[in-house]
Amino acid sequence: MGKLIISGFALALSLLMVGISFADKPTDFDNNGNVLARTSDTGFDEWGYNRVARIFSGTGASWCLARGAPADCLGIYSPDKLVMKWNAEWDRGNAEGWANPPYAAWEDNEWNGVGVTGGSGAVWHYKIKWVGTCGADGTTLPDGGYCIWGQFEVLMDQGTDPNAGHLWYAQATPNGYGS
């Protein structure tokens, strides 16, 4: 009985393996398994934006090009890898020119220039949320963050500079986006 169960399992596994070996190769990936850029309403465009999922995955240069700027608009950071995430409130604020508050808007930016040819060599992470009028850029806020763009707080600004090591410029408490 045990040999029959093992034989049945081996047969099922063999059939499964045959099915897998003849499956079509996915067309949205290159030979290394990387997602290929594609333009659609539900996928990533040629610059790295997936506006439905509210994710950007590209480089500083592709971010520049999406804005109509030259590919080197960020200088040494242009070749760096960049991942941005944001919520629907961020989109609403942008669409309204931030004129109809309040907003529960936030965004997250992650830069990586390590191992990038011609890149900065830095790795940096920012968390930003809308807070309303907060002062001039760089104004320190009571929770440990700082103000940018007149109405946004940088909750977290930390990373590694190849010449200066790990640095913290903001670490608000609490460090989450809240509601």
Q: Which tens digit of pLDDT belongs to each residue from 100-126?
A: 999 999 999 999 999 999 999 999 999
Q: Which residues contact 173 (CB under 8 A, 6 or more apart)?
A: 143, 144
| Partner residues linked to 146 by β-bridges | 140, 154
> In this structure, are residues 60 and 66 in contact, taking their beta carbons and an 8 Å threshold?
no
Q: Which residues of 24-36 are buried (b: 16+ CB within 10 A; e: fewer)?
A: eeeeeeeeeeeee
Banded pLDDT at 7 (limits 50, 70, 90): very low
* Mean pLDDT in residue range 76-94: 96
Q: Which residues contact 50 (CB under 8 A, 6 or more apart)?
A: 42, 43, 44, 56, 57
Number of Cβ within 10 Å of residue 67's Cβ equals 10
37, two tokens: 């850029």
| Partner residues linked to 167 by β-bridges | 159
Q: Is 6 exposed, middle or buried (0-12, 13-18, 19+ CB in 10 A)?
A: exposed
Above 80 in pLDDT, residue 155? yes
The H or E element containing residue 127 is: strand 123-130
Cis peptide before 102 (omega within 30 of 0): yes
pLDDT above 70 as % of the chain: 76
Q: What angle do CA 80, 82, 71 make, to 5 degrees?
A: 60
